[in-house]
Amino acid sequence: MAASPALDLVVLFENEAWQQPLFDVLDQREISYEKYDLKSAAFGGHDLPKARLYFNQASPSAYVRGHLRVVPFTLALLKNLQIQGAEVLNGIDVFSFELSKSAQIAKLNELEIDHPRSIIFNDAEALLGRNDLSFPAMLKPEQGGSGARMNQLDSLDELRELLAKNPSLWEPDQLLLLQEYLPHDPEVGIVRMEFLGEELLYAMRVVTHGRFNLCPSESCNPVEAGKEGACAIPDPQETDARPVEFYPYLELPAEALKAGKRIVKSADLDVAGIEYLETPDGRRVFYDINANSNLRKPIGEAFGFDPFERVADFLEQKLQSIR
């Protein structure tokens, strides 16, 4: 990394459109930082960390944008930085956790927080004879991101047929989850809580209209009606669905916030986006934990602040603590 020894911050990223609002704030504050594009990069095994703080904003969904090598490179880089004593936000343990839906399910199970029943498998035939197999179910990749490769299924035969016709569903890591289908009203949607450290930044309700790509970034799901997102995930089940809608959620239940804070603390998350939904029978089910939080400026403004300014505050506080 061609960084000055006096550098304060390096931001690791793959999708610059997601990070631009933060870069704008860092520029305005004249923070000494460097952008590190993970799409085309190299580092020496002998390189020493050249910044006081690294902020990892790599996403598990890089592969859906054609960047298959980003995740393995990021894992190698983070391991190198950790071994050499660098301060890293969303470091190797956190990023590995984000990459694994099965690890997230295990964490929720450990914390006794309601979560979808899930089976992890590498061969559909291995599901035969399991007494916990039930349909309808959701098929998801172990390493997901932006709702990619998700399918609702009604039988094991349908699963076999789908995988035979579309073997690319095994990508990127050749592991899949068959997850309990959770009925909910798509016109009510799901709830996403954003955290900085162990503190809630804001909560929002996301009205899905049946879509799976719920990325909060305005580059993916624009505020302006009719404007195409830059990285929408194509899905035949979503063809006729209306755009995703995002609303500030001022009435976040105290128990939901408590559960979110427990997840953040237990998983040592520095920055997090945690999603749950409510079923007709009264369950509050947590199903997704993200360490790469794409913030939505209009939602923060509804609570009276610019969320990217808050992230910059968080980074500056971290820098002050390691001076």
Q: Residue 152 CB: number of other CB atoms within 10 A?
A: 14
Backbone angles phi, psi at 107, to 5 degrees: -65, -45
Read off the amino acid at residue 230.
A
Examine the pLDDT at 71 and tell me if it is beyond 80.
yes
- Bridge partners (DSSP) of residue 276 are 191, 286
Question: What's this model's pTM, rounded to 2 decimal places?
Answer: 0.90
CA-to-CA distance for 63 and 72, rounded, in angstroms?
11
How much is the average pLDDT of 147-168? 92
How much is the average pLDDT of 217-232? 58
Spatial neighbors of 154 by CB under 8 A, at least 6 apart, are: 135, 136
Label residue 244 by pLDDT band (50, 70, 90). confident
CA angle 47, 312, 305 (to 5 degrees): 160
The predicted pLDDT at position 213 comes to 67
How much is the average pLDDT of 75-104? 96
Label residue 238 by pLDDT band (50, 70, 90). very low
Q: What domains are defined for the chain? A: 7-98+317-321 (3.40.50.20), 117-180 (3.30.1490.20), 184-304 (3.30.470.20)
Tokens representing residue 266 in the block: 């237990």
Length reported for the chain = 323
The predicted pLDDT at position 293 comes to 76
How much is the average pLDDT of 242-251? 91
- Bridge partners (DSSP) of residue 271 are 196
Report the mean per-residue pLDDT for the chain: 89
Q: What is the pLDDT of residues 202-214, one digit of tens each?
A: 999 999 877 666 6
